[in-house]
């Protein structure tokens, strides 16, 4: 990254950090874009160059390009294999770089604002539709299968993420939450690949029950 790109990234990060702090202190609706720009030391037009809408100050970066992971998978690998490996790799990296306070502040602000919850829902809807399109390429001619799979995948990923956020918010050490995240990823994709019957059998085997 060159000097110009680094400066742009620093400006973007400063604007986002200032916005999050103000939103967390006063609430999303009570803070204006003008106040954010002034506090961040930039012009309003500069802020909008980085974040097209006020919502984007918090929702940008939330959307995951699952469709690109599916479309770019290696030959002979299924969409679920590619997605499992992606999230397995993310979990394996650990949570050591996570800014816990910023993460919790973001969750607080979004969950307390109906407008932001609506914006987040729209982001997830877009993510699901794009994933369905990519899956349709993997399973040509079967529109319903692609849409059902996209719905199940995005729901599973969101649930795993929510479980991670809840553990952090409950005071669980970051290292432990990260370790459990790895197990959650495997469970989620076991469910997606094999269904509830498979997982129930696994639980029963652990308990020593007869199937």
Q: What is the pLDDT of residues 41-94, one digit of tens each?
A: 999 999 999 999 999 999 887 778 999 999 999 888 999 999 999 999 988 876
Phi, psi angle pair for 131, to nearest 5°: -65, -40
Q: What is the pLDDT of residues 83-118, one digit of tens each?
A: 999 999 988 876 556 778 888 898 899 989 998 999
Average pLDDT of the segment spanning 123-147: 88
Separation CA 178–CA 164 (nearest Å): 8
pTM comes to: 0.81
- Residue 204's pLDDT is 56
CA torsion, ordered 100, 104, 106, 110, to nearest 10 deg: 160
Q: How confident is the model at residue 208 (pLDDT cuts 50, 70, 90)?
A: very low
- Residue 198's pLDDT is 59
CATH number, domain at 25?
A: 1.10.10.60
Statement to judge: residues 67 and 145 lie in one domain? yes
Statement to judge: residues 156 and 97 lie in one domain? yes
Statement to judge: residues 48 and 81 lie in one domain? no
Q: What is the pLDDT of residues 184-207, one digit of tens each?
A: 999 999 999 988 765 556 555 454
- Residue 209's pLDDT is 45
CA torsion, ordered 73, 76, 79, 80, to nearest 10 deg: -120
Statement to judge: residues 34 and 124 lie in one domain? no
Statement to judge: residues 111 and 195 lie in one domain? yes
Average pLDDT of the segment spanning 115-144: 88
Statement to judge: residues 75 and 159 lie in one domain? yes
Instruction: Express as a percent the part of the chain with pLDDT over 70.
Output: 90
**DSSP classification of residue 52:** S
- Residue 83's pLDDT is 96
Separation CA 211–CA 200 (nearest Å): 9
Statement to judge: residues 121 and 157 lie in one domain? yes
- Residue 20's pLDDT is 95
Domain total in the chain: 2
Separation CA 75–CA 78 (nearest Å): 8
Separation CA 201–CA 174 (nearest Å): 31
Statement to judge: residues 77 and 168 lie in one domain? yes
Phi, psi angle pair for 75, to nearest 5°: -60, 135
- Residue 100's pLDDT is 82
Residue 22 pLDDT > 80: yes
């Amino acid at each position: 990254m060159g000097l110009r790109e680094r400066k742009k990234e620093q400006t973007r990060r400063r604007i986002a950090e200032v916005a999050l702090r103000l939103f967390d202190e006063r609430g999303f609706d009570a803070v204006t874009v003008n106040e954010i720009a002034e506090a961040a030391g930039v012009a309003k037009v500069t802020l909008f160059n980085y974040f097209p809408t006020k919502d984007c100050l918090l929702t940008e970066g939330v959307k995951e390009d699952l469709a690109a992971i599916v479309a770019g998978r290696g030959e002979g690998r299924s969409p679920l294999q590619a997605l499992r490996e992606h999230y397995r790799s993310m979990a394996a990296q650990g949570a050591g770089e996570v800014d816990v306070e910023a993460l919790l502040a973001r969750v607080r602000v979004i969950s307390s604002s109906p407008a932001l919850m609506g914006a987040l829902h729209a982001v997830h809807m877009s993510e699901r539709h794009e994933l369905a399109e990519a899956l349709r390429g993997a399973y040509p001619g079967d529109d319903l299968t692609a849409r059902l799979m996209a719905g199940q995948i995005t729901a599973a990923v969101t649930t795993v993420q929510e479980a991670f956020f809840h553990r952090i918010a409950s005071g669980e050490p970051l290292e432990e939450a990260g370790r459990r995240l790895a197990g959650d990823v495997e469970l989620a994709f076991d469910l997606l690949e094999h269904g509830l019957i498979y997982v129930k059998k696994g639980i029963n085997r652990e308990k020593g029950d007869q199937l």
